[in-house]
Amino acid sequence: MIADHIMFTGVNVLLAWSVYVILLSGSVSFANGAFMAIGGYGAGVLTTKFGLPLVAGIPIAALGTAAFGMIIGLPALRTRGIYLILVTTGIAFCVKNAIEAIPYVGGVRGMRGLVGAEPWHVWVVAGVVGLLLWLLSRTPLQRILDAVREDELVARSLGINTVYVKVIAFGTGAALAAVAGGLYAHYMYVINPEHFGILVSVYVVLYVILGGVNNLWGPPLGAAVMTLLPELIRGLQAWRPIVFGVVIVILLLVRPEGLLPFRSPTARAKEARRG
Partner 1 sequence: MAETVLGFDGVSKRFGGIHALSALSFEVRAGEILGVIGPNGAGKSVMINVASGVYAADEGRIVHRGRDITRLNAHQRGRAGIARTFQNIRLFKRMTVLENVLVADKTHTVRPFGSLLSFGRRREEIAAALAELDRMRLADKADQLAGTLAYGDARRLEIARALAGKPSVLFLDEPAAGMNERETEELLADIRACRSRLDAIVVVEHDMALLRVLSDRLVAMNYGQLLAEGTPDIVLAHPEVVSAYLGTQDG
Task: Give the footprint of partner 1 on this chain (CB under 8 A).
Answer: 136, 139-141, 143-144, 146-147, 150-151, 153-154, 156-162, 164-165, 168, 263, 265-269, 271-272, 274
Query: Closer CB to partner 1, residue 9 or residue 162?
Result: 162
CB closer to partner 1 out of 32 and 172: 172
In the complex, least distance from residue 133 CB atom to partner 1, rounded to whole angstroms: 12
Q: What is the Rg, in whole angstroms, of the alpha carbon atoms belonging to the chain?
A: 19
Give the residue from 202, 143, 171 showing the smallest Cα distance to 73.
171
CB closer to partner 1 out of 234 and 270: 270
Give the shortest CB-124-to-partner 1 separation in angstroms: 21
The nearest distance, CB 176 to partner 1, in angstroms, is: 16
Residues 6+ apart with CB under 8 A from 44: 57, 105, 111, 114, 182, 185, 186, 191
Closer Cβ to partner 1, 102 or 154, answer by number: 154
Q: Which is nearer to partner 1, 112 or 263 (CB)?
A: 263
CB of 169 to partner 1, least distance (A): 10
DSSP string, 57-107: HHHHHHHHHHHHHHHHHHHHTTS-HHHHHHHHHHHHHHHHHHHHT-GGGTG
Residue 270 CB contacts under 8 Å (≥ 6 apart), including other chains: none
**Can you list the alpha helix ranges (DSSP code H) found in 161-273?**
162-188, 198-211, 218-232, 240-254
Residues near 104 by Cβ (< 8 Å), separated by ≥ 6? 45
Residue number with CB closer to partner 1 (75 or 140): 140
Burial class, 61, CB count within 10 angstroms (exposed 0-12 / middle 13-18 / buried 19+): buried
Rounded to an integer, what distance in angstroms lies between the CA atom of residue 155 and that of residue 167? 15
Q: How far is the CB of 128 from partner 1 (least distance, A)?
A: 15
Q: How far is the CB of 130 from partner 1 (least distance, A)?
A: 16
